[in-house]
Chain A
Amino acid sequence: MTAVAEDRFPRADWELRIENISKNFGGLQLFRDLSFVLDAGNIMGVIGPNGAGKTTLINVICGQLPLSSGKIYLGKRDVTGLPPHTLSRLGLVRSFQQTNTFKLATVRENLMRAMRFAGSGPDTWNLIDDLLDAYELKARLDEVSDSLPYGLQKMLGLLLAYVTKPKVLLLDEPAAGLEQRERGNVDRLVMHAQENIGCSILIIEHDMELIRRLCPHIIVLDAGNVLAAGAPDEVLSTRSVIDAYVGRSDDDD
């Protein structure tokens, strides 16, 4: 696993700290007193059975849903309750599980919009140049995003989040819907981010292999709480974690 990059980047405030957050919805308690820390520059995985509240977690961290209680810190700054666009400008950016692009716009327009809305500057094109090559998107810059195959649309969605030059990047099931041979693209993006931006990355995933490859540290969410935390191999062989998965219909494609 790649070690954390040396301090080339101003990373002091690129830590994401979640403190005792709870989320109730109607009669449902999605999580209670949940706490964890994503250290600056690290990559952390979040796994757990379906319905454990993983997507709600991202929605809550990114300001799309309000917290019932608790605090969220980006570095030293308390960002609890801030709206999505403010969080994004502060460097806390997410990707979406469903392909989330501007479907009627071309690939180029999509990326331009992302750079413009995030204020990340025209040199961002240089940043993603080799990724565009690798994903074979370079030749398709002027194609309408909706006409791309699903896998490429998904990668475009990830790129949109990436070109905002985030400090903390939250990936919501980046590999969902991708074919096995396409999953390496996610690895490529994560590596690229580590080397070029050094942002902290949180990955929510069902693909255990991907998690093992990319995340030196993972937490397991079950019934709204952290069931276990640690290195993947350790955690995945813990009895309680295995139990949590048994009996749940878990589509691990």
Chain B
Amino acid sequence: MYVITFANPKGGSGKTTSAILLAEQIALSGGRVSILDLDPNANILAWAEGRKAGEREVPFSVHARPQAEDTVELIDQLAGEADYLIIDLEGSKDQVVTFALSRTDLCVIPLDGSPMEARQAAAAVRLVQTTSNMIRTPIAYSLLFTRTNAAFQTTDERDVRQEMETNSIPTLPVRIAKRAPYTRIFRDGVLLAELPAIVAKEHEGKAASAADKAMKQVAGAIENARDYAQAVIHTLTKERVA
């Protein structure tokens, strides 16, 4: 089982959205996925329970946060049910992050490119490196720029990227742009793949140009999610082979 953990001590950096986008893409592509929702806000757990209550399919299993000390045992137990375990962590410096990292193959560290989030991302990188040293096992990690502007790169993002390159900090080649379809996942309890049908229905009887624009927005979001998920899988498999 591959364990992919999303960590950044700063809240609101895009961990939960990145985690659920990845889970959906892997599940739709035939992979067996489980999510361990270690965020006390339990947004993914609530999303899954909402869908189950509405008798809608949940294409992956979602597990709730155990006591911090039981995290490692739970991760080991889940190896039997999934090929990919995706762990969503809370945005704080909690020791549960260390427990999760001790079983992680790839730690994805989302940040929006602002200096504030970059500093917290650096704290996550230091924890990954320290944990790796202590357990004497390499833990791959990669930064992921999220909630970026799809049209251009801000000066903040450019500045942060420059420092990443100078310090040879690995960064995923794909950014997750800030897009309305991503916020609908949690607002309406939907899967990204369900949005084309939903948007088409919403635009029935409306001007063709408006429907076309909305569909292109959804298509862009799906393409971005797919490219991002593929980049994560490439990084993961490359690191495991190495």
The answer on A and B forming one complex is no
**B residues lining the A interface (CB < 8 Å):** none
**A residues lining the B interface (CB < 8 Å):** none
